[in-house]
Structure 1
């Protein structure tokens, strides 16, 4: 049996894993079959009242030259959460990560993170009238903060790997032109370090452009902020 975990308590890794595996809550992402197994996300409430999100997996693995026989994707996501924090990229707080496998059985794995309080998907912010409420000054600040976040990630050679708008969360607080803007990134199970920061940047930014709904003018502003922060232009990135 192998157990990989995050814990700041005195209990054993097996106890921690068993405790979280027994917890159940409302499905916010129903279990789906992929990567040879099953994965879904439930909403839980901790003993101290915090809202948690638990990614629960059975046999849900990825393979690489380092792990040709497969490894649970939550372990890769844990590495990304820890790595991005070192580069000042806001991501959910890691509460627990564990994976175990009995002989002859598929992997069981969990990743538990704390709610990003006050944050919503960027598309939801637009749909709720955020742009109309705050205007272009704050929206420009939002695009700049997103660009800075992505540039910090890519300068560290981290590639998100699935950079859609639904994985970009924002929190805008305050009123008028002085409103504060914060950006966070979620769903990092496809994230990995690349050999160069240019490869990480090119993959993510082109993917974001394909799957975003920004106007040409807003995209141009984002690219301007991004390339200024990144320190160079991205070849083939259409403005």
Structure 2
């Protein structure tokens, strides 16, 4: 795979001498959290700011995932970058890739994935912490955009597989709420119809404990393009509730 560099970010990176793999790898930064270890290597995340723009720079070494298609393994960032590109091609709102590259150096497999930070967005998890304090119109807008985003994702034939509040970023604009999805590494094609769709939605509802049944109905109404009191919303709510109860009983 050749290196990817977003055309809109080239000038900024060039001005700071950061438009190639070696310089991005050598850049001295403080990690935002403890590195992930395992898989025979390590993976770490760093933050940097350039000319008032925020970025996340992720670097990994010998941190591989193996599949039937790639039995010898590949950097986990490779799959994440492919999914970011797929979301963009399918018009599914998600984080933006700035740079991706891989290198093999003396038996070591290195990878870099750089993305724009969503600094003017809020993750749904933080919004849920203050859910009762939000106005009714804000709550309605958030629920509807989450439902519409899930609908767009599934209609495009994809399941996120980590559709959690911390992976849904939101912001309010004059014309309504907008959403973007992050952590796309586990995304896969939607293969099993309703089963896959329920499996994707249930973890979100299980983690959004601040939501009432009425809230969930608003989300499902947007997802299904049906009235909140429709028989179809009733059916989906029943199925999701049953799945949630089975999960919590384990």
TM range (shorter): 0.7 to 0.9
- Structure 2: which 5+ runs fail to align? 227-231, 243-250
Conserved 8 A contact 2:159-2:188: yes
Question: Superposed, which structure 2 residues align to 1:42-61 within 5 Å?
Answer: 42-46=46-50, 48-61=51-64
CA distance in 1 between counterparts of 2:74 and 2:190 reads: 19
| TM-score computed with the length of structure 2 as normaliser | 0.78
Alignment partner, residue 223 of structure 2: 226
TM alignment of 1:8-157, pairs within 5 A:
8=7, 16-46=20-50, 48-105=51-108, 107-127=109-129, 129=130, 132-133=133-134, 135-157=135-157
Higher relative contact order, chain-length normalized (CA < 8 Å, sep 6+):
1
In structure 2, relative to structure 1, the CA distance for the partners of 1:211 and 1:125 (3 Å cut) is closer
**Larger fraction in helix:** 2
In structure 2, C-alpha distance between the alignment counterparts of 1:130 and 1:209, rounded to whole Å: 14
TM-aligned CA deviation for residue 228 of structure 1 = 2.3
Contact 2:123 2:167 in 1 (8 A): yes
Counterparts in 2 of 1:190 and 1:28: CA distance versus 1, 3 Å: same
For residues 34 and 120 of structure 1, what CA distance do their matches in structure 2 show?
30
- TM superposition shift of 1:137: 2.1
Question: Using the alignment, how far apart are the partners of 2:223 and 2:53 within structure 1?
Answer: 34
Give the drift of 1:39. 1.6
Q: CA deviation at 1:5?
A: 1.9
Tell me if structure 2 keeps the 8 A contact 1:158–1:200: no
| Alpha-carbon shift at residue 126 of structure 1 (Å) | 3.5
TM-score (norm 1): 0.81
Alignment size in residue pairs:
225
Aligned-partner Cα distance in 1 for 2:96–2:29:
19
Q: Distance in 2 between matches of 1:70 and 1:160?
A: 22
Taking structure 1 as reference, are residues 200 and 21 closer, same or farther at Cα in structure 2, changes over 3 Å only? farther
Deviation at 1:30, TM superposition (A): 2.1
Give CA-to-partner distance per residue, 1:206-225, whole Å, 9 cap, x none: 22233332233322321222
Whole-angstrom distance in 2 between the partners of 1:18 and 1:53: 17
